[in-house]
Every structure is written in structure tokens, then in C-alpha cells.
Amino acid sequence: MAVVLNGCAGVDYSVRKDVRPIINFTLSMPDKSSEIDYLGLDKNSRFFKLSQIDSPAVLIEVFSMYCIYCQQAAPQVNELYRLIGKNGLTDKIKVIGIGTGNSHQEAEIFKDKFAVPFPLFPDFREGVSTVLKVNSTPTFVLLSVRGRYIRTICRYEGKFFNAEQFLGEINRAMAKEKL
């Protein structure tokens, strides 16, 4: 059951908690070795499971190259990634993007155009987006990937305007989960 936790006046997203476990889905290994290192993965594998990412929480942005809101949100999402690093939270939260309905080339075009500093993965057949129950883009899903089940800590639907404020929301949600 989805529960509305809180929202901020004038901010274009809603914050929800979803207690249902998420299937531990598999992704192809990133092309860049720096991104493999960032996620703490084994370089010799071709695929990895979400739970193998080396952090207690993973923030997933489900985006599409074709979505104007995702394009508009890109600079703030990049800023969020930068703030996570600046605040020494990289070991706690890793950020990845899932390009719903996008081919590998389309996800790469989005990455190049907006200089996205975190790994993006194509989801051409929308399998991962279905697992994450995504209906619109961008959707941000903060997952706890430690413990018995992968579960959603928070979902954020829509673009956000202020990365610092958004990180505050993430930190509060993480603190509630003692992560």
C-alpha cells in the first residue's frame, strides 16, 4: 500500500512510501570502469543484481530521453548527485538512472547531452520500470538494498526544482529507516 508521507508546498513532486518488496532485478554491467568502481561491482561480470551495489541505499531515477520533464530536471539531478558526494554520502547512497523505453543508444544520448555523471541503463522493454511500478517520468525511487528484501523507502514522482531540498527529503527518509 502506498502511503503519502509528506510533500513540500510548491514543489513539483509527491513523496510516498511503498512497503512492498521489490524484485532484485538484473542489469548489464556499465561500459565505463569508473562507473563499475562507483557501484562497487565485480569487473569480470557481464551482469549484476541490484543487491550487489555496494551501498545500503540506491536512488533510481526512471527517465526517458523523450520526456521533456526529465530533460528539464537533468541539471538538478546532476546537482543532487554532486551534493551526495559533497556531503560524504556516496557510501550510503548510490545513484543510477533507468531509461524506460529507451535503447542503449538513446540512454547514451541523454547521458552525453546532459553530462549525467552517474550510470544510466536502458530499459527498452520496460521490464525494470514495471518492477518499479513506474507510470510517469521522471520517477525517483529510493530503495533499501540491504537485508532480506529490497524495499522502497520513498518514491518521488515528477521533476524537482531544488536539489538541496530534495536531498533533505532523502536524508529524512533514510534516517527514519536508520540507514
Partner 1 sequence: MKKVSLVIIALIVLLAGHGYAQEVKKYIYNPGKIKPTDSVMRVKPGDKAEDFTLPSLSGEKISLSQFQNKKNVVISFVPAAWTPVCSAQWPGYNLLDDIFKENDAVLLGITVDNIPTLYAWTTAMGGVNFPVLSDFWPHGKVAQQFGLLRRDGVSERAIVVIDKKGTIRYAEAYDINVRPPADIIIGQLKKINQEK
Q: Which residues bind to partner 1, rule: CB under 8 A?
A: 9-12, 64-69, 71-72, 101-103, 105-106, 109-110, 113, 124, 136, 158-159, 161
In the three-class reduction of DSSP (H, G, I as helix; E, B as strand; rest coil), residue 63 is classed as: strand
32 alpha carbon, distance to own chain's centre = 18
Report the residue number, 6 or 33, with the smaller CB distance to partner 1: 6
Least spacing, CB of residue 102 vs partner 1, in Å: 8
Tell me whether residue 6 or residue 72 sits nearer to partner 1 (CB atom). 72
For partner 1, the closer CB: 8 or 23 = 8
Which residues have C-beta within 8 Å of that of residue 129, sequence separation ≥ 6?
Answer: 62, 98, 100, 101, 123
Smallest gap from Cβ 74 to partner 1, in A, equals: 10
Q: How far is the CB of 99 from partner 1 (least distance, A)?
A: 11
Residue number with CB closer to partner 1 (66 or 149): 66
Nearer to partner 1, 106 or 177 (CB): 106
Cα 106 to Cα 111, 113, 131: the distances in Å are 9, 11, 21
Evaluate whether 153 touches 143 at the Cβ level (below 8 Å). yes
d(Cα 141, Cα 61) in Å, to the nearest integer?
7
Site of grid cell 530533460: 71
- Write down the least CB distance from residue 10 to partner 1, Å: 3
Helix axes of 68-86 and 163-176: crossing angle, nearest 10 degrees: 60
Q: How far is the CB of 105 from partner 1 (least distance, A)?
A: 5
